[in-house]
Structure 1
Amino acid sequence: MRALLVVFTILGLSPRVAFAQGGPPAGTPKEPAAAQAPAAAQAPAAAQGDEGDEGEDGDADAPAAPNGKGAAAAGASPEEAAQPVPTLAPTEAELARGQPVARVVIAGNRRISADDIRAYLGTARVGKPFTPEGLSRDVRELWDSGFFEDVEVDLTRRDDGVHLRILVRERPNIKTIEFDGNQNISAEDLTEALSVEVKTGTILSYNAIRRGIQKLRDKYAEEGYFLAEVSYETVPQRDNEVLLRFKIKEHERVTVRRVTFIGNNNIPDAELREVMITGQGSFFDFGTGGAFRQDAFERDVLVLSALYYDRGFLSVQIATPRVMLTPDRTGIEVTLTINEGPRYRIRQMRVYERDAEGKEIEPIGGRRRLREMVRAKSGDWFNRAELAADLGRIQTMYRDEGYANVEAPPATDLDPERQEVDIIVAIRRNQPIKIGRIEIRGNTKTRDKVIRREMEVLEEQLFSESKLERSKRRITMLGYFERVDISTEQGDDAEHINVNVEIVEKPTGTFQVGAGFSSIENFIATAQVQQQNLFGRGQSLSLQAQISGLRQLIDVRFFEPYLFDTQFSAAISAYDQLRVYNDFSQTSLGGALTLGYPIIQPELRVALTYTLESNQISTQTTSTLFGTAAAVNFFQSVPLANVYNDGITSSIRPTITYDTRNNQLFPSAGIFIQGSVELASKYLGSEQQFVRFRNTARFYYPIRDWLVFKVNSEAGVVTSPSPEGVPIFARFFLGGILDLRGFLLRSVGPRLTLNQTLDPNARPFNNGTNIGGNLMYYQNAELEFTILEQVGIRGVIFTDLGNAWNLERNYCEANPASPFSATNPCFTPSSLLNVRTSWGVGLRWFSPLGPLRFEYGFPFSPLPYEQPSRFEFTIGNFF
């Protein structure tokens, strides 16, 4: 038996393989020198190494000696020529070639199992014939796995074959990843960007670390920090683990200074910049072009190409943009080179339908209707967006008839010489498709029934794309879900398609709190607890309370959108409230019942509300279920009896509502219009008689993803057949955070000047008293923009306008006119121009408890007794 050590040592980044050399084992007789030379000469070149190759190359042209040895060099003496050529003895690995591998031992591994290591071995397996080349490949595979810092192999030849001992030294494990120097990007975001390459609990890999560093630089580049530097260090820990720390130098943020276009002869620079994100800063970039983001820039290149396609430039090419840092290294300049190419006109436009055999057939609606749905005609400039929109309408028409797999691919044939294009659209309707299963996923609280009743498609009905889109809009409008996705997939057979409704629920309970101060009421607190999706049934239940020294209210409301599983909706409310104003107090105890029905589901609805309540108007102490409170009234000695009428009010109020908002709770698109007429008549058992008209219109338009323009307006008129006029509780009072911001609550409107006593020569009260108006109008215009989208913080800039006017002559003729035109109780048509205006700014936080509003209002022309500004806050959405 012969034994010798063969060592494979891998250090650094590439393996270095060494075969240890040595003589025969003890006890083996030496062979004569003359006998060793032929043996060495017969050794394979792989065992002789580079020296053998060099000798062979150097003597390639020398004649062979009769005995097979090379001839002596020219000029050599006979003694030198007679000396034998030196050779190397074969390595132990060469001597083991062809012998079977008898045993393989894995040593040094701690975390990686021996079986996992053996999986990398191809030749070094028990029973396989041994070859040095195969062993080298196996060692290379182990090294390339990235798990080891060192690999050694011991080889021993024995009677039963080759015994191998593979000794490995594992690379350390990453215990913790830390970031040092990151000020503008959180460690969580950096960890997420790094996780593709490097994670805690994995084997330390320097190649992966280098790739991870590039990922971190890319993350900083996305935020505009192109000069960010990232390095790393490893800190050894116990149990062959390391702490991996990335050191970051962020430097200043790099902004886009200028975007330059070259070659745009037909579309001006301003129009190209308008469709780009790059170079357009947000509200908080303070005049700079905003940060450069690679993903946004790639999107811009695609949008520019699409813009040219829409203008007919079908051969446009946009070269690779050039991005250069400015000399001060705080900004970049972007240059885009555009090769517009020719502009194409439409030579032929043909749209038709064919069957499976390619024959033309009559399309749905007829050939004329089909052609009229495409606006493009011969001689027009080609417009890809317009053509795509028209073909989309055609496909929708077919899909609404059940042909879900309709095909309408446009084929274009360019004629560069004449700069014309032929467009052929061959429609194939394929077979009609029915709805298979409707699967609802993601609803852990909301019952399937609540979602299914908003669906306009049913199982086994023909497929309809428009109905699916309306179904999604109706489910979204419920306001119960953060996201609603409707997708389709192949059904159980070719004639069916399954519909998947995937939702993400959000909290539907809100707790609204508001607080404020006034010189009369001191501190005011309001609270409302509301559940929009009660027990997941789609019902709504709310409890509202207002508590202060002079105001107390409790109101309970319940709403059922589908009464007894019909299209009728029902709402019921009960309330008990005490309202103590500057000049009177009002106690109301009653309730209301509402029935509704959709005329056009879900946009147009009608409703009828019956209200029965008992109203008490007083200038004295008043009590409710909450206790008693004394009215602070400056006119107790001069009560306005005709205004302070009270008693039973029984009224009906029909309402019609048109609503296309994308979300009922937090809309960002759509319109809301509502009109109502409330009639309180003696024929309904009412002691108070009046007719009150109210109209509300709201408009929402998303200018950008982060910017929404919103308008809210409301107008109202109330009259009474009674000679006493409209009771004060049915009149309109404006002012405060819910209508005209910047003004004191219920302080805007006509004011009546009264003396402190019945003596006509008595001193009048300062500023008079607000008696409310018969006619009212106000509007709010807002620009709502995103500040921190992740936490739901938005800003708002607003302007408000409105006023209330008195139409009843008895108040105008009974007292001297107010010195201010905006509060004069005497109405003329020109009084409509006397409106109160304000502007302001605010913050809104969509917190888990509900939307918080902090708003600061500034009247444009405050009256002498009004404050120049007013700060208010509440929890709850405005409109």
Structure 2
Amino acid sequence: MKKELVLLLILLTVSAMAIYISEVDFKGLNTLNSEFIVQKVGKLFGEVSSDEIQEYLKKVFDLGYFSSLTPSLEPADVGYRLVVSLEENPVVKDWKLEIEGPGLVDKKELKELVKIEKGMPLNVNLLKETFETMRNKYQEAGYFLVEINGNFEDGTYKIVVKEYALWDIVFNGEVDGLDIVSILSKAKIKTLRDFYSSSPLVRFFTMSKKDFYPKYSDINNLISVINSYPFFSKETAVNFKKTTVKDIEEKNVVIMVVNVVQRRLFEGEKAFKEILFHGNTIFTDQELLKASGVSPDQTYTNAQVLLAMNRIVDFYEKNNFPYTWVEAKIEDDSLVFDIYEKYVRSVKIEGLKKTKPYVVENLVTIKEGEPLNKEEIMLTYSYLQNSRYFDSVNIYPQLSPSATQVDVVIDLKEAEKTRNFIGGIGWTMPKEGDWWQGFSGMVQLSAVNTFGYGESFSVNLNLGFTERSVEGSVKLPVKFEVPMNLELGIGYTDYTTSSGTDTISLKGLISSLPYKGHSFGIGPIYEKTLVDGSKGTLAILTRYRYNTKNSAILPTEGYYLSLDLTRAGLFGLDDQKYWKGILSGEAYYPIFESLFWSFKGTGGMVRNEIGTELLEVSGPYAVRGYNYFETEKMFKLSADLNWILQKENVPVVTGLFVDYGGIEENGNMNTLSSAGVKLDLVVPLLGSVEVGGAYRFNEKDWQFYFFMGSW
């Protein structure tokens, strides 16, 4: 035995000496066999050096199935036998995955990443790969506060994923006078402490446990807010500390700790005879002095001056001028604030492949040479997002704190799906006949920005028992001195009963693109009934729109106002002659992230001179729970409390509503009112749909209702 050890030592230390290996003997194997190892790493045979032996042994151990490897040499008939004593890792009879947390990543997706081999010794390489791919999966979803470990339990290897929630955010260090509440409010990071300190009702309607597991973007946003304030020096740091909290469901929580270090302008206290401002053009010195909260001939500490700088930054922010930076310096007995206001040097549009630049430029309200304004950024975002040209819109400035010129980047991802097909079934109370004759089938074919000119085409086909219609339209943005939209349309309606006369229609409309939310339009409309002697009716439509809604699909904030005024019977084409006006307004107010109010109002009136033009009141224009009406005057007011159940894919909203409206009948205004519950959703083949139950106060009964176009 001693001879074997000596030989081995000589082998491993004298790399220049060669030795003849005639056989390799693997010992200690229980589950695996020698053939399996040789298949993986090959054979070691013949005259080899110690380096080659060490490399071979390393390959064997690096297979990952073994917890220890001990080599030795034994004399053989020819040369030496290399004996490799191995200890296998425990055998995996089965494995299971356990997630401690709400399941930030779908458990099925994580299980698909597990590489552990059942019936084999645990392979640490495959285990490491499993853990790494799981971490990557969480990182792809934006989460980073995750621990992944494992252990054996009666032959079953249990993988434990610990998802950490954020319990609280703590500011330590030099924080005297710092408005921490304001900083956290701007950062908008949610903490589990907020959840447990809220009422059960607020939790139920507005909070999800997943909201308290921060993402990279949440932390980056907090760091961005901290960096926007001159108070903090570069030594300010953010880290996380595990903690335990009694009487909560979550096992794994952390505290975010912000260690604050102030910038150093001066030591001790100083009195200043003058407070001066340099570089400001948007606001006067007096306005900034008032905002700063400091005044001449007063004594201030370093921290108090830093807080004054913070207040100036906040003043600009509250007035929609973000990213303004402030530096302070002492000149003799004067305190000088250098203000770095941000002006737009250029607007860069990126990501366009087919869309012509002018199509985007028409929708951009951020102008070169003007101060960078948050309201203009939000308006531009709203216009681009609602255009349906793009799947994603990202607007961000390229700047440094002390720069005054800013490059604004608009990063766009063009919509992959430009053609849409929507089909469905609708119902309104028919003007005559049985109730079932109010059903109709609807098909809409549309294409948006297919060729990159911002154009849109649509064909609407409506097939009902009493009425059939087809309408086609094209809309194209055009670039004049003022960017405009040009819209043309043609339609045909066929009545199968005496409720109407077959009609063809032509329309044209030219409208301005939105400017600060406002747009205007004007255009002709011609309708002709297909009967002998009909001259047709020529009308002019004037239109006004104001739109600051934050989404075209599911608005939760903003305003919408529309006014349509029509004069019909022009230039002798007066089968009908009338004035018609329709005014509509909407207002959306968020309460919490998933709870918001919506208020809507509509009013319409027709004054007939020739013919009997009427307003059709149905669907979203009718008091919910009531059917189809035709009238010369109407109004409707509604208030809805909306709770978002699902925002992605198919948006789903439920809520409560109250409606009050009026319909003129025989010269009298008859009022109607209802209240109830509703469910709004956007179904791929039906579009926007609302269903619900309305209690009709006039009839004192409940009525089911259904209509399309709820948003």
TM-score by length of 1: 0.55
**Match of 2:413?**
503
What is the distance in 2 between the residues matched to 1:331 and 1:439? 43
Task: Pick 1 or 2: higher relative contact order, CA cutoff 8 A, min separation 6.
Answer: 2
How much does 1:367 deviate? 5.7
Q: 2:459 aligns with which of 535, 543, 559?
A: 543
Cα distance per residue 1:791-828 (max 9 Å; x no partner): 4341222425343444xxxxxxxxxxxxxxxx5x344x
What is the distance in 1 between the residues matched to 2:348 and 2:101? 51
Structure 1 residues 503-542: aligned runs within 5 Å: 503=413, 505=415, 507-508=417-418, 509-516=420-427, 520-523=434-437, 524-537=439-452, 538-542=454-458
How much does 1:596 deviate? 1.7
Q: 2:394 aligns with which of 461, 485, 493?
A: 485
Cα distance per residue 1:725-747 (max 9 Å; x no partner): xx43x22343445532211122x
Is 2:710 the counterpart of 1:878? Answer: yes
Q: 1:604 aligns with which of 518, 521, 531?
A: 518
* Helix, strand or coil at the partner of 1:451: helix
Is 2:638 the counterpart of 1:780? Answer: yes
What is the distance in 2 between the residues matched to 1:544 and 1:425? 62
* Helix, strand or coil at the partner of 1:475: helix
**Match of 2:652?**
794
What is the distance in 2 between the residues matched to 1:497 and 1:512? 44
How much does 1:861 deviate? 1.3
- Richer in strand (by share): 2
Q: CA RMSD in A?
A: 6.6
How much does 1:501 deviate? 1.5
Q: 1:705 aligns with which of 580, 589, 593?
A: 593
Distance of aligned partners of 1:367 and 1:142 in 2 relative to their CA distance in 1, 3 Å threshold: farther
How much does 1:533 deviate? 0.8
Q: 1:593 aligns with which of 508, 523, 527?
A: 508
Is 2:704 the counterpart of 1:846? Answer: no
* Helix, strand or coil at the partner of 1:654: strand
Structure 1 residues 155-554: aligned runs within 5 Å: 155=73, 189-190=106-107, 199=115, 203-205=123-125, 208=128, 276-280=194-198, 291=209, 295=213, 323-326=244-247, 352-353=277-278, 363-364=280-281, 368=285, 371=288, 374=291, 376-378=293-295, 387-392=312-317, 396=321, 408-409=325-326, 425-427=337-339, 434-435=345-346, 438-440=349-351, 446=355, 450-455=359-364, 465-466=372-373, 470-487=379-396, 499=409, 501-503=411-413, 505=415, 507-508=417-418, 509-516=420-427, 520-523=434-437, 524-537=439-452, 538-554=454-470
What is the percentage of aligned positions where both structures have the same residue? 12
Distance of aligned partners of 1:799 and 1:586 in 2 relative to their CA distance in 1, 3 Å threshold: farther
Letter in 1 for 2:627: L
What is the distance in 1 between the residues matched to 2:524 and 2:476? 16
**Match of 1:720?**
608
Gap runs ≥5 in structure 2: 25-33, 168-178, 261-268
How many pairs does the alignment contain? 636
What is the distance in 2 between the residues matched to 1:504 and 1:666? 21
What is the distance in 2 between the residues matched to 1:785 and 1:452? 36
Contact 1:674 1:696 (C-alpha < 8 Å) held by counterparts: yes
Cα distance per residue 1:46-90 (max 9 Å; x no partner): x8xxxxxxxxxxxxxxxxxxxxxxxxxxxxxxxxxxxxxxxxxx5
Distance of aligned partners of 1:656 and 1:291 in 2 relative to their CA distance in 1, 3 Å threshold: closer
Letter in 2 for 1:703: I
What is the distance in 1 between the residues matched to 2:451 and 2:92? 46
What is the distance in 1 between the residues matched to 2:416 and 2:637? 31
* Helix, strand or coil at the partner of 2:385: helix
* Helix, strand or coil at the partner of 1:740: coil
Contact 2:505 2:526 (C-alpha < 8 Å) held by counterparts: yes
What is the distance in 2 between the residues matched to 1:670 and 1:203? 57
Larger radius of gyration: 1
Distance of aligned partners of 1:194 and 1:180 in 2 relative to their CA distance in 1, 3 Å threshold: closer
Contact 1:796 1:841 (C-alpha < 8 Å) held by counterparts: yes
What is the distance in 1 between the residues matched to 2:406 and 2:212? 43
**Match of 1:125?**
51
TM-score by length of 2: 0.66
Letter in 2 for 1:664: A
What is the distance in 2 between the residues matched to 1:535 and 1:175? 56
How much does 1:679 deviate? 1.0
* Helix, strand or coil at the partner of 1:371: helix
What is the distance in 2 between the residues matched to 1:321 and 1:294? 15
Distance of aligned partners of 1:672 and 1:335 in 2 relative to their CA distance in 1, 3 Å threshold: same
How much does 1:484 deviate? 0.6
What is the distance in 2 between the residues matched to 1:95 and 1:182? 51
* Helix, strand or coil at the partner of 2:552: coil
Distance of aligned partners of 1:486 and 1:707 in 2 relative to their CA distance in 1, 3 Å threshold: same
Structure 1 residues 830-845: aligned runs within 5 Å: 835-845=671-681
Contact 2:683 2:689 (C-alpha < 8 Å) held by counterparts: no
**Match of 2:625?**
742
